[in-house]
Amino acid sequence: MTGRVVLCDTWGEIADVAAPLAGLDVTVELQQRVTPGPGIVALLAGPDTRVDAALLAALPDLRIVAATSTGFDHLDVDAIARAGVWATHVAGYCDGEVADHTIAFVIDLLRGVTLLDRSVRSGAWDYAVAQPVRIAGATLGIVGFGRIGRAVAARAVALGMRVGAYDPVLTATTVAEHSVVVHPTLAGLLATSDVVSLHAPLSDATRGLIDADALRVMRPGAFLVNCARAALVDDAALGDALVRGQLGGCALDVLPTEPPGRDEPALTWPRTIINPHAAWASPAAIREPYRRAAIGVAALLRGDEPADVVARPAAS
């Protein structure tokens, strides 16, 4: 029986998935929402497709779930393993793009570029509306020091910034290689940074990591950048800190609901820059996650182990 490979990601193109699967007895389908049933051997799941025990039970022939993103918090990896299914993600395909976007946000906030533009358009002509500060010598605090966090650090160091990092799994070797100051606690990093940038994966341990208590520890007038996951931040607490003037501003590439409704609170926050989840994008990166996910599916269907595994079938 011909197997079915389902792409459930509205940003993807069937052609990018089909090419690596050439020669295999499979068909490729694009679905906005997964239609349960037999015959589906592989599911390429975008960040909006939650793969949990209920969905797995409705896909009896499934062999692999391939996340079409670096983050895989939308996959219940334990349930996938228990179901005897593999899971992969596409690690590193947009590290450079996200690091570049992060640094663009950092520079924008410190120099006041966007806020000054808005002020001029509203009739003002005063640089003190968003007082620019010197980039070299400013301190960037990076929360999460994986591939993207390290790429951001390299760019910041090249600009002459002082860089601190907090990550529970930081090693002395990693720190030495990247010219950063390691902070054993999150509070220590927050209290000493002019800009805090989030690059931690979303998990039960990191959900709401930047809450009201964390925001109170940050320097008065400091900035927050989030190009990772919206749920790392307590949304209400961030809005309150901005309205009260405790923070100097923030730059967000992610929101709790995307695209946001007209009632999204962040759209009314002062001194806030919002992008439409664009940090990952470039002409090269737009196609890469689908091609990479399909390569992993093809490897498994040919009897090989795929790359970038995040869940393996549990032993029966």
In angstroms and rounded to an integer, the radius of gyration of the C-alpha atoms of the chain is: 21
* Contact predicate 43/70, CB 8 Å: no
Please give the Cα distance from 190 to 164 (Å, whole number): 9
Q: Does residue 277 have an active-site annotation?
A: yes
What is residue 229's DSSP assignment? -
Catalytic entry in 82, 277, 287, 312: 277
* Contact predicate 164/141, CB 8 Å: yes
Q: Helix (H, G, I), strand (E, B), or coil: what is residue 268? A: helix
**How far separated are the first and last CA of the chain, in Å rounded?**
25
Q: Does residue 229 have an active-site annotation?
A: yes
In a 13 Å sphere around the CA of 147, the CA atoms on its Cβ side amount to: 11
Catalytic entry in 50, 134, 244, 258: 258
Strand order across the 86-88 sheet:
26-30, 3-8, 40-45, 64-67, 86-88, 309-311
* Contact predicate 25/3, CB 8 Å: yes
Q: Does residue 207 have an active-site annotation?
A: no
Catalytic entry in 4, 150, 155, 229: 229
Closest by CA to 110, choosing from 80, 137, 76, is 137
So which residues are the catalytic ones? 229, 258, 277
